[in-house]
Amino acid sequence: MKTILYVEDNEFNRKIVRHLLGRTSYRLVEATDGEAGVATAREARPDLVIMDIQLPRMSGLEATRQLRADPATAGIPIIVITSFALAGDEEKAREAGAAAYLAKPYSPRELLGMIRELAPES
């Protein structure tokens, strides 16, 4: 069973992803701010991280950079999600180390497709 870490401060958004992954073989772990996301990734060693950009305590981009800089977490694929998609955001996300980028609102099917592409169900 593969583990997905979802770093998101909005409970409604976490509930949607919980429901989406509830029908799969993935195990979901959650964190509600950037600092907790980095700590959880280091501890849980997930197969994939879904990272919101707008987070309390540390931005999702900074958390992504920290995960990329740590040899223990550098290889974990990260999908960066933003609700304030601006020109250049995708480029910033990829420069920080994101494997994929998704703007809200997104199709849950599209997110699940990205998850399955980056961390295929076993």
| Predicted structure pTM score | 0.94
Mean pLDDT across 83-89: 71
pLDDT at residue 86, rounded to an integer? 67
Average confidence (pLDDT) over 30-57:
97
What stretches of the chain show up as alpha helix (H) in DSSP? 11-22, 34-44, 60-69, 89-96, 108-118
> Which two tokens mark 88?
């250049």
Average pLDDT of 51-75?
Answer: 96
Domain segments of the chain: what residues? 3-118
Output the CATH code of domain 3-118: 3.40.50.2300
| pLDDT at 56 exceeding the cut of 90 | yes
| Cis amide leading into 120 (omega within 30) | no
Which pLDDT value is given to residue 40? 98
DSSP state of 75: T
Is the per-residue pLDDT at 26 higher than 80?
Answer: yes
